[in-house]
């Protein structure tokens, strides 16, 4: 959450930079193990309208969002969760993932 942007609520539907598909946010503040290294992502999402297909979630950062189509529901419980996520992030020792760099690295590994 660099630059103190506010995380979108669960259920929000977004387009990602350079993308043509909609994604629905299903998780926030994630630690993901990629090739034995831990990374932090702001969001986990599924394709919309299909939903989660197996365990194939899409991970990205707030700055990777190009357009918010729909903002999900939020209430007092969500505010408490956002506060907990923010506190957890401030204590984290793992690095925030660079989605473009990771994507390029993964494409090179499959060639």
CA proximity to 66, closest of 96, 23, 31, 35: 23
Q: How confident is the model at residue 48 (pLDDT cuts 50, 70, 90)?
A: very high
Distance between CA 69 and CA 76 in Å, rounded?
23
Pairing state between β 58-60 and 37-48: antiparallel
CA proximity to 65, closest of 97, 17, 29: 17
Quote the mean pLDDT of the chain.
90
Distance between CA 71 and CA 38 in Å, rounded?
29
pTM given for the model: 0.86
Residues 25-43 have pLDDT tens digits of 999 999 998 888 899 999 9
DSSP class of residue 11?
A: T
DSSP 38-80: EEEEEEEEEEETTB--TT--EEE-GGGEEEEEE-----HHHHH
Q: How confident is the model at residue 1 (pLDDT cuts 50, 70, 90)?
A: very low
Does position 100 have pLDDT exceeding 80, yes or no?
yes
Is residue 51 left, alpha or beta, with left meaning phi > 0 and alpha meaning psi from -120 to 50? left
């Amino acid at each position: 959450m660099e630059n103190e942007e506010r995380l979108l609520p669960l259920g929000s539907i977004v387009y990602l930079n350079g993308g043509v598909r909609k994604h629905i946010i299903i998780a926030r503040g994630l630690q993901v193990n990629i090739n034995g290294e831990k990374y932090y992502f702001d969001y986990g999402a599924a394709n919309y309208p299909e939903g989660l297909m197996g365990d194939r979630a899409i991970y990205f950062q707030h700055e990777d969002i190009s357009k918010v189509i729909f903002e999900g529901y939020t209430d007092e419980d969500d505010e408490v969760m956002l506060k907990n996520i923010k506190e957890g992030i401030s204590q984290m020792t793992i690095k925030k993932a660079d989605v473009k760099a990771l994507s390029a690295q993964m494409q090179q590994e499959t060639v």
